[in-house]
Structure formats: structure tokens, C-alpha cells
Chains A and B, each alone.
Chain A
Amino acid sequence: MARIVVDPITRIEGHLRIEATVENGVITDAYSSGTMVRGFEKILKGRDPRDAWAFTERACGVCTTVHALASVRTVEDALGISVPKNAELIRNLMFCTQYVQDHVVHFYHLHALDWVDVVSALKADPNETSTIAKAISAWPKSSPAYFAAVQQRVKTFVESGQLGIFANGYWGHPAYKLPPAVNLLGVAHYLEALEWQKEIVKIHAIFGGKNPHPNYLVGGVPCSINLEEVNAINSERLNFVGSLIKGAIDMVEQVYLPDLLAVAGFYKDWAAVGGGLKNYLAYGDLPTRGYNQPDSFKFPRGAILDRNLDEIHEVNPRDSEEIKEYISHSWYKYSDGDDAGKHPWDGETEFNYTGPKPPYAHLNVDGKYSWLKTPRWKEHPMEVGPLARILVAYASGNDDVKEVVGEALAKLDVPVTAVFSTLGRTAARGLETRLVVRWMKEFYDDLIANIKAGDTRTFNDEKWDPNTWPATAEGVGMSEAPRGALAHWIRIKDKQIDNYQLVVPSTWNASPRDGMGQRSAYEEALIGTPVANVDQPLEILRTIHSFDPCIACAVHLYDPAGKHIRQVKVV
């Protein structure tokens, strides 16, 4: 029996540690730990609620917009503000931009190298890659000369031994199954996607004024629309947005989706691995008739229990009996005892580090072992993210989702149960990206039509003046961040923030066990995952990366010694 420690687990710099027990080549138990202190809610107390978005937005460098959106919704909910139609559409365009950039970057830059062997790509015949590329897509960059040039470029980098991206892989691992020609295709698109993602995020700068960390505004969006005005959202800028959306549709339909399905075809065994929890939660998002009308959302709201797709449970984030955070295994203390569960409006953030002094060999997993709290919905552990969104939409009978899921299942020739897996999670992300780029075009067309009809309003100032606010107010702002259900809860007292709590997607997925011993999503998904070589636990990375871990907003500081254990340890 071996206890494997993987720390950090993210290909990008991260602060997530996995300890897994391997018996006879299969994981039998697993522990997920956020190794940085959480608690930036503390700095919000006493501040102006209208400024909260600017602070929360800084919590993460990957999804820079999602906390800002959740934050302005939270304040609008507390104060009863509804935003103009244009603001809803522009927020949706910002949201879709974040999704498509984030999901493409995840697939190619954070996850693909778990499946694509870069070193094998060097042996590929570029003619063969070209033939495959032309067979699966109309994407123009597909000539043998193009792939030969990519191959030569990558060879130079691999030989230099200096590039972390290509130097750190488990190249040659027996779990890599793609033929060299497909590996080369993946590597070529890795580079193309890196260039492409720079373009799409320009939409954030256009509507949000700057990038990174674009501006948001309680009551609307911080840009004015005037088709003739140089400094406003004018015809030229809108045309540019339109061309970026077209580029995104091409990228997703001609590169991301075909690659995803081509790669998945070689890894169908991963449709039986990594399913984990059987419960899924989605808050839903992309409103089309106001945020108070969840039935108008493109992504519906709901919960699924025990994989029963015949029943969608209603979710109410205001109900103090539904969402609660526990700290039985987390380095915090609660004023009324550590076994209590707290609804976020009553949330407390008091540190209580009882773990070993770093660097350490193992965490004491019987006690507290993570800086993440453990959220539960009606006491159930829930998976959040693309798979949860797709399943909730599928079970809700959403036609768009049923269509793309059905097509993918048919193409891969797998049953619908294949989605409850590592492969399913990765596929769900690609499928929803395809929907999101289509919806993005709809929102864009609606925005143009609305402006042409004479409506240029982007801001509702009715409740901007704090003198119009009640003495106390509480609100909740939900969103579907790319990584899953995200919500902020606020209590406002005397025009200031009295309490502010975030429950972020990676807290749902990466949290430690609860007091009843129920594992959260990462821990559960690892059970049964095969590990061919404990020195190179590529399979652990596949399953954990399928969730797109982003711990930085779930936990916020270095571990107490500022140390990071970089190697994989086996004991």
C-alpha cells in the first residue's frame, strides 16, 4: 500500500494538495487539502457595498470577472435593484467571454497534456497529422508544412529543457494512448489556442474599460452606448465585438470540439473512471428576462440527487436549512462549536490552524486538514461545474443541451451513463462551450437590436444614493462561474458591509470530508482511479484536472512557511 502525495496538483501554480492511498494499483482513499489560508471576507467588513466587486474581483487571476458579477448581483439583490436590458446583455457577453476563454485555456493549457504526449508528437509524421486534421475539421491551418513547422518549433523547446510547460510532464507514461500524429495535432492547437485567447478577452476591455480586472457597476454596466461617439460603445467597437464572437464560434466548432471528440475516442475507458459523487448542483445563469426570473436562464437552476435525472430539486440559497458550511476538518473555529453548520449569512471566518508545521510528510486527516470549509446542500455533498450544469439542463429538458449531448454520445458511441466520469466532465466543458458561443451570438444580436430600437440605457441609478437604502438589508448573488456554482452573501447595516461570505466552486468540489465522514467531489472521484505507476500519478491529475481546479479564490494565502512541496512523494 502506498500513500501518494501530489502537491501542488495544478499544472499552473496552485495550492491544492492531494493525499491518496493506492492498493493494488487502484486508489482506495483520498484526501484533498487547500494549503493556503482563506478569509479575505474580513477585509470587506465596514466597506461600501458598491465597492465590494472591486475587491472580490482580485481574488482570482484566472476568472477575473466572475466574482465581480456575483458581487454586484448580491448588492442589487439586497437593495432591490434591477438592471436595464442592455446591462443584462452586456453582462452576459462578458460572462460568455470568460467562459469561452477559460474553457479553451483549460482544455489546451491545463488539461490537454494529461492526455497528449508532447514527446510522442515529435515522432509524428506531419502528413498523417494533416490527413487527420482535414478529416475532422474545416479549420484552415492543416497543411503538412504547417504541422512540420510546429513540430520543429516544439523540438527546439523540448531540447532546451528550459520550458516548464514541456519539461514537467510524465512523457512516455503507459497511460498515454494517442498515436503520435494526434499528439502533434494537440500540440499545434495548444499553441494556436494560446494566441487566440489573447483576442477574445478584448471584449472584457471594450465593455469593462480595462483588462485584467475589468470594471463592473452596481445597477448596470460602466460603459455608455452611443453609436457615433468616439469614447463610448460605438458602431466600430460593436463591429469588433461581432468579429471576435465569430472567431470564437470558429475556434470552438472547428478546433476545440473536434479535438475533444478525437482525443476522447482514444480514452473511452475514462468514461468508467472518476464519476465520484452522484449529486449535482447548479445555480443557473445567463438571464434573459432579469435575474429574478430563473426560468428565463439559459443555464437552468437545480439540484440532482443520486443521479436521478427524472427529478430536479429546487434550490433556494436564502433558506438557512439548504446551504451550510461545516468546519469539522477545516482550520477554523465557530463561536458555537466546530460541529455546527452555518448558512453563509451567518458565516464566520475565524482561523484555527492545528496542522503540522510545514514542510510535512502527511496531514493529520483524522483532524482538521484543509483551509477550505465544507459546504453542503441539505447535508449532501454536491459536485458543481460543467458536468453539473449540463446534467441539470439535460434533466430539465433543455433542447439545446439535449441536442449537443446527444450528438457527442452518438459520435463517441457511448451510453448516457458515460457522462458520470472523468471523461464526461471534460466533455461537458467542451459541449457547454459550444452552446455558450452560440448564445453569445444571440445576446450580441439582441444588444444591437435593442440599441437600434433607441434604448441606450446601461445604468439604473435609482438606489445609487445610500440615503435611499434601508437600515439593514441582506442579499445573495449567484452565478455559474466556469468552474461551477458561485455565490456571495451580504449583510448591509448602516450603509456598510456587516458580513460578506463567498462560497466558491472549488470549495464545493475540493473541500475536506464533513463531520459525518462524507467525502466531497475530488476525494470521492479519486476512489477507484487506477494508478499504473505511483511515482508518476498521471491518472490522479486527469481526474482532478477534469474539475479544473482553481484554488486561489477558495484559499488565499501562502501556507504558514511559504513553502511548496514540488515533488511527488511516495512512502
Chain B
Amino acid sequence: MPLLVLGIGNVLMGDEGVGVHVVRALQEEALPEGVECLDGGTGSFLLLDPMQRAKKVILIDATIDGSPPGTVRRLTPRYSSDYPQTLTAHDIGLKDLLDSYYLLGSEPDVTLFAVSIPVIHEVRMELSPELEAQVPNIVKLVLQEIHSLRSSPSA
């Protein structure tokens, strides 16, 4: 599995689950060979194995950073401390997962799509209309990333 596309989030918490919604949408697309999409849910250390088996990882996750909801930033963080501060309300945090991933000697070849979401006030399964409208755009961005990685000589 050269390329892992990993959506993280809790789908019980509305927009917080946007990463999972994006991956589910990507699973409907025709993807090049060697690309695996994984609904990481709130998967914590359970995600170490698929991350280690991948040569490159594209992460999609929510962040509460005060930007307008639906803002997407493409980041290539080196260490967990480079990740946005309030990323995720998952259990064993993404940062702990990434720290462990690096600690076990994996090269940090991670591209992160951080999706800004509003503060969450209620438990719900659906995305808010703003985020729902953004999903096709995020899917497009990730597909572009996949194709550029696949066509680059290092991939």
C-alpha cells in the first residue's frame, strides 16, 4: 500500500467527523492502484499499523482554529508540534499517534488537509450545511494530491 488516505474524526460529533465524510466520498471515486482509503474514525493507536505500512499518508482532519468553517489548509508537518493546536476531540489524540509513528522510526511523509470547523455544541450525525457544501471541494483537493503524488518520481 504505497499511499494511505486517512480520514480522522468522530461522526457522532457533526462537523468534527468531516475527515471521515471525505474518505467515504473518496471511496466512491475511481482511485489509482496502490491507494487505500481508510475511515480512521477515532482509531488512535490502532492506526499505527496502516500508517507504517504506507509510504505516504494523506490525512484529513478537522480543526477548530477560528477560521471560517470549511477553510481548508494543506500542511506538511514535520513533528506533531507542527500540527494545529486544537485538532480533534478524539480520544488518544492524533498527536500521540503521530509521536508514536515517528518514535517507531517511520519517516514523517504526511500531508495534512486541515478543515476548519465551528465550535461544536451538539451531538449530531450530519455535517452542517457549510461543511457539507465543502466536501466535494475537499475531495477534489485530495484527488489532485493523490494524482500529483502518483505522478511524481518518488511515489
Which A residues fall within an 8 A CB radius of B? 11-15, 36-37, 39-40, 42-43, 55, 58-62, 64, 105, 109, 153, 157, 160, 162-165, 191, 194-195, 197-198, 201, 211-213, 550, 552, 556-558, 560-564
Contact = CB atoms under 8 A, between A and B. Distances in A.
Nearest to A14: B91
A30 to B, nearest CB: 24
7 contacts: A13-B91, A43-B125, A61-B41, A163-B80, A165-B99, A212-B46, A550-B91
Which A-B residue pairs are the 3 nearest by beta carbons? A61-B42, A13-B93, A212-B43
B103 A61 contact: no
Contacts of A201: 46, 49
Contacts of A558: 64, 89, 119-120
Interface stretch (B7-15, B23-31, B134-142): B7-15
B123 interface: yes
Contacts of A197: 45, 48
B41 A165 contact: no
Contacts of B105: 153
A458 B104 CA distance: 38
Interface residues of B, number: 43
B18 to A, nearest CB: 14
A558 B13 CA distance: 10
B123 A12 contact: no
Most chain A CB within 10 A, of B45, B102, B122, is at: B45
Contacts of A165: 96, 99-100, 103
Nearest to A11: B96
B91 A12 contact: yes
Contact of B123 (A39, A213, A560, A563): A39
Contact of A43 (B45, B49, B81, B123): B123
B107 to A, nearest CB: 14
B44 A61 contact: yes
B55 interface: no
A43 B17 CA distance: 15
Nearest to B118: A562
A109 B81 CA distance: 19
A314 B44 CA distance: 37
B92 interface: yes
A365 B90 CA distance: 27
A43 B103 contact: no
A552 B90 CA distance: 7
A62 B41 contact: no
Contacts of A12: 44, 91-93, 96
B69 interface: no
Given A165-B99, A201-B46, A58 B41 contact: yes
A61 B119 contact: no
Contact of A198 (B49, B88, B89): B49
Interface in B34-56: 39-49, 52
Contacts of B123: 37, 39-40, 42-43, 556-557
Given A55-B12, A197-B48, A198-B49, 8 more contacts: A13-B89, A36-B89, A39-B122, A58-B11, A212-B44, A556-B123, A558-B89, A560-B119
Given A60-B91, A62-B91, A552-B91, A37 B121 contact: yes
Interface in B72-126: 78-81, 86, 88-93, 95-96, 99-100, 102-105, 119-125
Contacts of B88: 13
Given A61-B43, A64-B41, A163-B102, A557 B96 contact: no
Contacts of A212: 40-44, 46-47
Contact of A211 (B46, B81, B102, B124): B46
A563 B86 CA distance: 8
B96 to A, nearest CB: 5
B68 to A, nearest CB: 15
Contact of B103 (A14, A191, A556): A191
B80 A164 contact: yes
A198 B44 CA distance: 11
B42 A552 contact: yes
B43 A43 contact: no
A235 B49 CA distance: 24
Contacts of B80: 162-164
Q: Which of B42, B86, B88, B90 has the most CB atoms of chain A within a 10 A radius of its CB?
A: B42
A22 to B, nearest CB: 28
- For B13, B79, B90, the residue with the greatest tally of chain A CB atoms inside 10 Å of its CB is B13
Contacts of B122: 37, 39, 42, 557
Contacts of A58: 10-12, 41-42
Contacts of B64: 558, 562
A59 B91 CA distance: 9
